[in-house]
Amino acid sequence: MATLRLGDTAPDFTAETTQGEINFHEWLGDSWGILFSHPADFTPVCTTELGTMSRMKDQFDKRNTKILAVSVDPVGDHHEWIKDINETQNTNVEYPIIADEDQKVAKLYDMIHPNAASKHTVRSVFVISPDKKIKLTLTYPPSTGRNFDEILRVVDSLQLTEYKQVATPANWVEGEEVVISPSVSNEDAEKKFPGYKTVKPYLRLTKVDNVN
């Protein structure tokens, strides 16, 4: 499987999960989606990650973003692991976890990196838009837990900038000023973003309230 790139269509698949069988594209529907993988069940860093994502689920729900985890262990192990996650992380996991025993999904999404983690999946993250395009890819080593606040921030940025001719600057968070795309002329910027600020001819900022 060739490495997936930004803008590629996210491969479709059918898989067994802790919430029954799903067809990925059908399950995603008109929502955004986050697909994230884990090296194995009953591992310490993964336990904290799944718990963190569970506690943040309502924040992703507000952004019309579905969550889907994947691990190469069987669904029975997933259900037992969820009990541990709920107990130790003070949460209740309500999103599905794929039982990818044959590594079909892992291979489709190039999640197996033998030099890093033998047969286990590395910590991959894919953010997928409603048109099933890949908008973000992140790959962490098995030893490093992910920052899900950053993933939420990226979803905010992607949803704001998808159709609006703006981009978000470094360390941007929801509510801060955004950058006007260089493809927008000054004349059009005056119409679209009245009162925008010019720092340099190529660096123009506008309040997020002006983006509509």
Residue 4 CB burial class (10 angstroms; 0-12, 13-18, ≥19): middle
Cα separation of the two ends of the chain: 39
- Looking at beta carbons, which pairs linking 110-116 to residues 24 or more positions away fall under 8 Å? 110/1, 110/2, 110/3, 110/4, 111/37, 111/70, 113/139, 116/141, 116/142
The residue from 46, 82, 85, 106 that is catalytic is 46
Q: Is 46 a catalytic residue?
A: yes
C-alpha torsion sign, points 11, 13, 15, 17: positive
Half-sphere exposure of 110 (CA within 13 A, CB side): 11
- Amino acid letter for position 148: F
**Whole-angstrom Cα distance, residue 119 to residue 73?**
11
Strand partners, 139: 124
Q: Any idea which residues carry the catalytic annotation?
A: 46
